[in-house]
Structure 1
């Protein structure tokens, strides 16, 4: 799971008002957890199979037992027996046969028996419980570290492309020249320091070195370019909200206190790793993805 959460919902009444309302509620819940949500729908097994073959990347499959001329068990058997994938599945029905339905594999399936007049509300609550469970499974240090590294690397590439294009944009030459002079001064200062360190011929010093035009230089350049473009300069906050968080996850050790709660030790401060931190990380990453995409679209309006 990354910043995206994909669901496919198989239900022969999916286009009716109660189910459209259910879909909206589920989508709103995930968006409040700062996921980018995509909910595909299908009315029977054949439509499900066609859509699944096109995508094949879902975090949750929701299916009714009775699907017109087909059956919800076909959906499950296709996923488990033919595709051999253990995607989380929510399997529901008002039919008492649900619990006795034979399946190729019953692991990671939530069975839900519809009951009572307000079953749509009960169904909604039960689906959201399963979604929260799937989110919780992925809110561990290894998965979050991988997601942060991937999304931050993607943002770094976008940011670098914006900087590269604008530094050679002839329409901005008057404003870019002072910026380039500052960049070259910074690079010269770094290069001079590196040269002096290299002269000492100390292996440990050289092994710690970074590329001259490093991440800090790119963020500085991006901020200056945003101001030249008269856009919000989010570069300083990006450094704090994304780069520093990435560095914490990359280089800080995960520890546990006496109560078993996980935390990072960062400059003597205990930063607790919990669902609130994960939610904030998703929110911040999504916020900067939107900001950087908006700048990209202004620079490349026809792409």
Structure 2
């Protein structure tokens, strides 16, 4: 799990009103936790197998026991015995005792026997409890650090491509010229050891050098490009919410307090990963994924 939360639900009545309502509730919950939700459904084991073979990256599998001519136990045995994957599984039944079902491997499986009186409400609550458990596992401090590095690096690469392409865009040459001049001025101020290279003022040499044409230069250029294109300028927010966070946790020291709770030491301060911080980080990454993707689309359509 990264920012995507992928679920596949195997149920032969999946398109009936109660299950449509449950899927909507689960989807809204994950969106509010700032995940990109991907929901797949299947009506029987064969359809599940086909969709699983095409992806194999689900964070949660939900399956009923009785699936027309097949059974949920086939779903579980396929994942555990054939694929050897320990994905979290939610296994339920409305009219059969789950405890009597023989499984190849029953670890990391949540069993739920539906009660007629409040069947769907309790089913939804149990699924939500398991989802929240998987989220809490994902919010492990080291896992979150890895997610921050991966997602922000991917964003940086996209932003880098956009900036370089627009700085070399002949259609914007007159307006871009002062932007490039400002970049050179900053290089002279902050990279004295490469003075001679910068003095040559060859754009192609500068763009290839990530020390000279660093993150601050790219953020400045991104902001100026957005102004020229008359688009919303999100460059300062990107700098604070993506670059700063990435840099802080790339170099922060992982430590433990007296109670054994892990935290990062960031410039002398203790930064703890709690639910609110994790949600805020996911929210900001998703916001800027959308910003960068939207900008890419607009530039492609105008090319």
Give me the TM-score of the superposition, normalised by structure 1.
0.91
Alpha-carbon separation, structure 2, partners of 1:259 and 1:79: 38
Number of the residue aligned with 1:276: 276
Residue 264 (1) aligns with residue 244 (2) = no
Structure 1 unaligned residues grouped into runs of 5+: 197-208
CA RMSD in angstroms, aligned pairs only: 1.8
1:11, 1:42 within 8 Å by CA — same for their partners in 2?
yes
Shift of 1:195: 5.7
Number of the residue aligned with 2:72: 72
2:97, 2:113 within 8 Å by CA — same for their partners in 1?
no
Residue 177 (1) aligns with residue 177 (2) = yes
Structure 2 unaligned residues grouped into runs of 5+: 197-208
Shift of 1:194: 4.5
1:77, 1:104 within 8 Å by CA — same for their partners in 2?
yes
1:63, 1:91 within 8 Å by CA — same for their partners in 2?
yes
Residue 42 (1) aligns with residue 34 (2) = no
Give aligned pairs, total.
291
Residue 226 (1) aligns with residue 226 (2) = yes
2:188, 2:195 within 8 Å by CA — same for their partners in 1?
no
Q: Secondary structure at the match of 1:131?
A: helix
1:242, 1:285 within 8 Å by CA — same for their partners in 2?
yes
Q: Secondary structure at the match of 2:15?
A: coil
Which deviates further from its counterpart, 248-257 or 62-71? 248-257
Number of the residue aligned with 1:253: 253
Residue 8 (1) aligns with residue 8 (2) = yes
1:82-93 to structure 2, matched below 5 A, reads: 82-93=82-93
Residue 104 (1) aligns with residue 104 (2) = yes
Q: Secondary structure at the match of 2:46?
A: helix
Number of the residue aligned with 2:167: 167
CA offsets, 1:43-63, max 9 Å, x none? 000110111111111000000
Shift of 1:273: 1.3
Distance 1:210-1:166 versus aligned 2 partners, 3 A rule: closer
1:262, 1:274 within 8 Å by CA — same for their partners in 2?
no
1:73, 1:102 within 8 Å by CA — same for their partners in 2?
yes
Number of the residue aligned with 2:213: 213
CA offsets, 1:155-188, max 9 Å, x none? 1111011111111212212210110111122223
Give me the TM-score of the superposition, normalised by structure 2.
0.91
Number of the residue aligned with 2:237: 237
1:116-155 to structure 2, matched below 5 A, reads: 116-155=116-155
Alpha-carbon separation, structure 2, partners of 1:290 and 1:23: 24
Number of the residue aligned with 2:62: 62
